[in-house]
Amino acid sequence: MKQIRLCIRIILLSIILFIISFFLALPRLSAATHSLTYDDLIKIKRISDPQLSPDGKTIAFVITEMNKEENSSNSDIWLLSIDGNSLRRLTTSPQADFRPRWSPSGKKIAFISTRSGSSQIWMINLTGGEAYPITDAPTGAGGVIWSPDGKHLAYISDVYPDCPDEDCNKKREQEKKKSKIKAKIFDGLLFRHWNHWRDEKRSHLFIVPAEGGKSKDLTPGIYDCPPISLGSAHDYTFSPDSQEICLVMNKDPVVATSTNNDLFIVSLKDKEIKLITQNKANDNSPHYSPDGRFIAYRAMARPGFEADKYSLILYDRKYGRSVNLTRDFDRSIGNITWTPDGKHIYFSCPEMGFRPIYRISLANRGIEKVVDKMTTGSFAVSPDGENIIFTKEAINQPTEIFGYNIKNEDLKQITEVNKKILAEVEMNPLEEFWFKGAGADKVHGLILKPPSFDPEKKYALVMLIHGGPQGAWEDEFHYRWNAQMFASPGYVVVMINFHGSTGYGQRFTDSISGDWGGKPYIDLMLGLNFVLSKYDFINPNLKGAAGASYGGYMINWIAGHTDTYRCLISHAGVFDLRSMYASTEELWFPEWEFKGTPWTSPRQYEKFSPSSFVQNFKTPCLVIHGQYDFRVPVTQGFQMYTSLQRMGVPSKLVYFPDETHFISKPQNAELWWKIVHEWLAKYLKAE
């Protein structure tokens, strides 16, 4: 009998242990189970624009969600306590709500909404009640900010510069809409930019009473405020006493050949505008010190060069003098924020594949790194100066909001809006490597292994080439050129920050100008050889390459200079530099990069034009382009495809009649990924 009882106990104990082990295994069973798909990517919620309340207790921010079925997106405003424990949706309109800005009292939020059929300023009281409109501008309103005294709002609107009031603008808009004539007539440059025609309108800065009423145009005339090119996300701001606004404009007669953005002061009392910067290169992003004594801003040194180093400049309003705070700091300044006590300025900058946050002391000009080895975005300092909130992303983490305690050096993730999706997807982190590139310079590379990586297997390689060309691959979660999506079918993804990339010192960035097909191409080839020798899990016979914009140019250049790759993908790539020059918009760009115009420097344009090497084309190439790409006009893609076809090279053209330099509509993006994956699979399948 005892033996029977003992057996029963053993059986029961075994059952209990099995049940316990089963439930303990559940978290592992529900962990990452598949590689990233397009349906996963499109469901990811995109966080942006965090704004800290005046009391430092609440964050207002924007979540944008993509809708594949409706082929659209929508943005709403959310609120979150600084400790991350209280998340609530503030707006629920089926139309876009974005750019939340706290009133100085913290009791209201002004924001931009399209719920009325056009972009306008709306207001919502946080103590209760529905949102209500502040503006009904016939040409729309955007970019809202508050005056520190809470009495006014400033905003921008594209208006007809010869119209004295809203009635005139409304009439002109109605006449244009009704007219059967759709011709566009120009008598100057720029006549189009990135993805839109310039037409007759100019961007002007307005103020309106915070409770609504008549708006006043602060920048009448033919100039754009903010500038049409090379501005920042912060190009107009109220002084602490609310008596003036510092703004950015370019008043040169031909903005197509000018990078001369300047800072101006406009008095709200008499609307008098005063120039405060004499620099002929790009100045932007003005920020008043808390006491109003200084204006901190960013400035480049060389006119005509859009990728020059940004220095942090301090303008003394009392004496009208400026000083460069980062003359010897070999990084380009990004976002700027003052500390509440006015003793320090925080700034971000690109640095070796990341965007850390630094702090500079106004007392001794000492610079120290506060947040390292992270790719940060927007950030703000708490009213007590003890914490920073910022957006952070990584190659395996979409953007979320984080908090950092400066004293304790404590990093905390505040939002987790994509927690459920990320728990179901396997994504590897980024790894770094360095190698000797062109001129024996050290060059930085990044590598991403595919999901379910097995070091004993051999994988095909996909080389991604960044645009810019003065840009860089970073530890970022890109929503278009997403490295995880390239890796998900089972490819090793390699990204090299070749000569010309940002974040490695200005000399390194400068080195690509006048040498587009030189050092960058050498770096890419040396980097390829390096990874093939270093990583034995890469199949050296299965290699593909893809790039967009300058990356597309480099794909076209590679097509004429090597057949080492099995397949190529050229998106929005420059093919013929001569025809590109006269059909693009910002002319200072090619004139700097190729040391003049096609008629003053013809050898430069011929030497580095992929069209000069069509006779060498052999590698199968997928060509992709959008009709409304005015940066790299669609004919560049057509010329590349036609040349491939005439050379008898296997090739395919994907033309999007409703897209720009970027593919942004959800269903178009899904098709883009489908064709890209099919093209890679066709040529990189295992032997």
Q: Which runs of E-coded beta strand occur in 518-628?
A: 538-548, 567-571, 621-626
Q: Is the pLDDT of residue 31 over 80?
A: no
Helix or strand or coil: residue 88?
A: strand
What pLDDT, on the 0 to 100 scale, is given for residue 686?
60
- Report the residue count for the chain: 687
What pLDDT, on the 0 to 100 scale, is given for residue 509?
98
* pLDDT band, residue 9 (cuts 50/70/90): low
What pLDDT, on the 0 to 100 scale, is given for residue 15?
46
Half-sphere exposure of 383 toward its Cβ, with a 13 Å CA cutoff?
12
Helix or strand or coil: residue 532?
A: helix
Arithmetic mean of pLDDT, 620-631? 98
User: Do the Cβ atoms of 517 and 593 come closer than 8 Å?
Assistant: no
List, in order, residues 6 or more apart from 537 with CB less than 8 Å away: 453, 454, 455, 456, 457, 458, 459, 492
- Average pLDDT in the chain: 95
What pLDDT, on the 0 to 100 scale, is given for residue 14?
52
pLDDT in tens, 332-376: 999 999 999 999 999 999 999 999 999 999 999 999 999 999 999
pLDDT in tens, 199-234: 999 999 999 999 999 999 999 999 999 999 999 999
Report yes or no on whether pTM surpasses 0.85. yes
* pLDDT band, residue 685 (cuts 50/70/90): confident
pLDDT in tens, 60-103: 999 999 999 999 999 999 999 999 999 999 999 999 999 999 99
pLDDT in tens, 541-583: 999 999 999 999 999 999 999 999 999 999 999 999 999 999 9
pLDDT in tens, 235-253: 999 999 999 999 999 999 9
Half-sphere exposure of 310 toward its Cβ, with a 13 Å CA cutoff?
27
Percent of the chain with pLDDT over 70: 95
Q: Is the pLDDT of residue 528 over 90?
A: yes
What pLDDT, on the 0 to 100 scale, is given for residue 687?
54
pLDDT in tens, 67-78: 999 999 999 999
Arithmetic mean of pLDDT, 665-684? 98
Q: Is the pLDDT of residue 5 over 90?
A: no
Q: Is the pLDDT of residue 613 over 70?
A: yes
**Structural domains of the chain ordered from first start:** 46-174+191-222 (2.120.10.30), 233-333 (2.120.10.30), 337-425 (no CATH), 426-684 (3.40.50.1820)
Closest CA to 621 of 538, 687, 562, 668: 562
Helix or strand or coil: residue 22?
A: helix
Arithmetic mean of pLDDT, 402-417? 96
What pLDDT, on the 0 to 100 scale, is given for residue 24?
44
pLDDT in tens, 278-332: 999 999 999 999 999 999 999 999 999 999 999 999 999 999 999 999 999 999 9
* pLDDT band, residue 386 (cuts 50/70/90): very high
- Rounded alpha-carbon distances, angstroms, from residue 16 to 4, 5, 21, 22: 18, 16, 9, 10
Closest CA to 56 of 78, 36, 80, 73: 80
Q: Is the pLDDT of residue 7 over 90?
A: no
* pLDDT band, residue 16 (cuts 50/70/90): very low
